[in-house]
């Protein structure tokens, strides 16, 4: 098994005034650095899915993949799956760039849930609901995902449901807390500083 992680950072950050979310400082470090800390130990290699100038991510040591056409988070998943096929990886684990509290057992739990799923797809879930952008995708799904996006559809949950995704259920309701607004950012900052 060879698993690539992809951090989805191709969004527009509209609720944060169009900021480049990946680089917004959180407790003194760019948001993406927090996600990398959590994801890197759990996968063989991390990729960053982002459009625009890739040199802004030089310091993170990850390959940056642009979207073929920006159509939501699944565009980034497709770019990662395409590279994973070329590089003989078996799976991609996707995660948004704005979830800095990912669980340390994210990937093992997704793999466990995928074992029980008919097409080997699994997404993260907790008491607050599903978190479909945080999911495990086998590389064999790349053609189906390309076809799905070509229809103009973009909803992650719809694609995951069409491929009968299993659920990895996480007990900590804060693990997938995502930062969309300045208020979310301040609350996360307080949490990190409080825990330090």
State the pairing for strand pair 122-126/129-138: antiparallel
Q: Which residues is 64 bridged to in the sheet?
A: 48
Please identify, among the stretches 13-21, 25-33, 55-63, 141-149, the one whose residues bind ligand GTP according to the rule CB under 6 A: 13-21
Is 105 marked within a binding site?
no
CA dihedral 52, 53, 58, 64 (to 10 degrees): 40
CB-hemisphere CA count at 13 Å for 81? 20
Closest CB to ligand GTP: residue number: 11
Query: Is 36 marked as binding a ligand?
Result: no
Question: Is 67 assigned to a binding site?
Answer: yes
Question: Would the CA dihedral through 44, 115, 147, 126 be positive or negative?
Answer: negative
What is the footprint of ligand GTP within residues 128-147 (CB under 6 A)?
133
Per the annotation, does 17 bind a ligand?
no
- Contacts of 126 by beta carbon, 8 Å cutoff, 6+ apart: 169, 170, 171, 172, 173, 175, 176
Determine the interface stretch with ligand GTP among 3-11, 38-46, 138-146, 159-167 (rule: CB under 6 A).
Answer: 3-11
DSSP one-letter code for 11: S
Does 126 belong to an annotated binding site?
no
Query: Which of 47, 83, 89, 97 is in the footprint of ligand GTP by CB under 6 A?
Result: 97
* Site string (59-78) toward ligand GTP, x via CB under 6 A: --------x--xxxx-xx--
Helices (H) and strands (E) in the chain, counts: 6, 9
Site string for ligand GTP, 75-94 (x = CB under 6 A): xx------------------
List residues binding ligand GTP (CB under 6 A).
8-15, 21, 49, 67, 70-73, 75-76, 96-98, 133, 180
Tell me the binding residues.
Answer: 8-10, 21, 67, 98
Tell me the binding residues for GTP.
Answer: 8-10, 21, 67, 98
């Amino acid at each position: 098994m060879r698993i690539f992680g992809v951090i989805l950072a191709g969004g527009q950050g509209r609720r944060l005034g169009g900021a480049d979310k990946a680089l917004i400082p959180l407790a003194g470090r760019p948001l993406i650095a927090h996600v990398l800390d959590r994801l890197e130990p759990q996968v063989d290699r991390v990729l960053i899915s982002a459009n625009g100038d890739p040199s802004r991510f030089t310091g993170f040591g990850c390959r940056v993949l642009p979207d073929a056409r920006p159509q939501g988070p699944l565009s980034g998943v497709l770019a990662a799956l395409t590279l994973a096929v070329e590089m003989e990886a078996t799976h991609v684990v996707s995660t948004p760039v704005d979830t800095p509290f990912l669980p340390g057992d994210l990937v093992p739990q997704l793999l466990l849930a995928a074992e029980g799923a008919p097409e080997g797809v699994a997404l993260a879930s907790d008491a607050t609901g599903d978190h479909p952008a945080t999911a495990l995708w086998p590389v064999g799904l790349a053609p189906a995902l390309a076809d799905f996006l070509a229809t103009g559809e973009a909803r992650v949950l719809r694609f995951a449901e069409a491929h009968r995704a299993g659920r990895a259920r996480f007990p900590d309701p804060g693990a997938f807390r995502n930062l969309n607004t300045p208020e979310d950012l301040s609350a996360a900052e307080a949490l990190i500083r409080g825990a330090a």
